[in-house]
Structures are given as structure tokens and as C-alpha cells.
Amino acid sequence: HTPAMAKIEKKRARQKGKAKKSTPWREAWKRLKRNRLAIAGMVILILLILVAIFAGRIAPYGIDEQMLKVRNQPPSAAHIMGTDNYGRDIFSRVVYGARISLPIGFICVIIAYAIGGTLGAIAAYNGGKVDNIIMRIMDIFQSIPPMLMAIAIAASLGNGVVNLILAISISSMPARSRIVRAAILTVKRNDYIESARAIGADSKRLLIKYMLPNAIGPILTNFTFSVATAILTVSSLSYIGLGITAPTPEWGSMLSAGKELMRQAPHVLIFPGIMIMITVLALNLFGDGLRDALDPRLK
């Protein structure tokens, strides 16, 4: 063999090795990278998470530090987002607000999937009476609009982070159970499930090792959209006084506190509102790209 032919053979061998190492998740990542809007949403989301983690270093002032001489000051070099009616720096409060809105949004969806998703998976796997009973209970919950249910639960439990998380998690649980149920039913009758059942795999192994991993695509996609919805719900409940209340710097409560200053100092409302909009937009863009990447048939 000549040196040129040897190089060609080595190149072909490397390509075959790469082809063998290719997995569905790597292929999904390749498709996701080609979606610029999805990558932009992911980058924004990562930046928001970093802002929440390092809020203490990013914020130039304390969240309750009052400078009464500069109350309702518009954006300036000293206060890039201006100040509120107590002279507090809005940028600092918006930065610390990410520590509240983002974690609550993720925690609410995780709890909703942990409870509702488990019930949906059990219903889909067992079918028959078990499926019928669980889904009829979920139908009863779904007969009440999620926001109305969240308002009712939050009003009965009272203000506070824990009560807010419970209200949103319970109100969104039925929808999460249906998502997981539909995903499990999609893969339940595939050949590899029947093969695993034929070789003696028990119910727990079938569900955890074979069904859930192959149904994870639509679940992950819906998870992303659900976090965006949860953040909007958190802000909405805080805005009407049923969630996080002042002086805690949550974006919805900041909107509520600044609504009386809409004409006098509109920047007090504008910047928390922009943060909510950016966060929800980033999650939706990333969710759209994730859906296309995990299900190439949608392209």
C-alpha cells in the first residue's frame, strides 16, 4: 500500500468508528445545534441561571438598601435600571429576583411531574380499570382551570414560597400526568417492549429501563414549556398578592408594587416585566428547538 492509500484507510476507519459511536442523543444534539433560535434561548437561559447563582456579586446594591434622595430616579450611570419609590436599586432587585422566580418555576414542574407523571405512567402501563380510575380523577382536577385552581389553593393556604409551590404544582399535575401517559402509551406496544416482556423482564424494569427512556423526548419538551408557564403563574399570583409579597424582590411582586407608579416612574414596571418576558421567551425558544431535535419528523 502507498502512504496515500494508508491515509485513506485510516480516515475510513475513523469515520466508521464515529458512526458506531453515534447515539440518538448525539444526533439530537447535532440537530439542536443547527437551530440558532434554540441555541440563543439556551444561552439566555444559562445566563439567567448564572445571574441567579452569582446575584450577590452582580448586584451593586443590597435589595433593601434605601436611598431616599434618589427615589423614582430614571435609569442612569449609578442605577442602570433606575430606582423605585423607596430609593432601592431596581437592577439589584431584578438580579436577586432571578433567585426566586427561576427556582420556584423549576421546582413546581419537578413536583408536578413527580406526582402526576408517576400516576400517568402507572395508568398507561396497567391500563384497564387502573387507567380508568386514575384518569377520571385527573379529569375532575382538569375540569377546573389551572390558574383558578392555583388561586383557590394559594388563597386558602396563604402567602409564602412553600404554599405557592404547592398551589402551582397541584394545579398543573393533571396535565403532566396526561403527557407522561400519552408518551408511555406511544412506546408500550413496540416490538422491543414485547421482547423484553418475553424474556421475563418485570413491570418495574419494563417501565423504568425501557419505556421511560424511549418516551423521554416529549416529556423533556413539555418540561421546558411547563417551566415557562410556571414562572408566569408565579408572577401572576404574586402580582395579585397571593404569592411572594413585598419586600421580597420577586418579579411579579415588583410589578405589583410599581403599578401605582405607571405614569410617574414607568421604569419601575418595565424592567421586571422585561425579565419575565425574556425568561419565558428563552424557555419557549429552547423548547421549540428541543422538540424538533428530539422528533426529526417535525422538521
Q: What is the pLDDT of residues 59-113, one digit of tens each?
A: 999 888 888 888 888 899 889 999 988 889 999 999 999 999 999 999 999 999 9
Interatomic CA distance for residues 253 and 245, integer angstroms:
6
Interatomic CA distance for residues 73 and 79, integer angstroms:
8
| CA nearest to 117, candidates 4, 222, 28 | 222
Interatomic CA distance for residues 99 and 51, integer angstroms:
8
Q: Is pLDDT of 201 > 80?
A: no
Q: What is the pLDDT of residues 33-73, one digit of tens each?
A: 888 999 999 999 999 999 999 998 999 998 888 888 888 88
> 161-188 and 146-157 are packed helices; what angle lies between their axes, rounded to 10 degrees?
140
Q: What is the pLDDT of residues 234-272, one digit of tens each?
A: 999 988 888 888 788 889 988 888 888 888 888 999 999
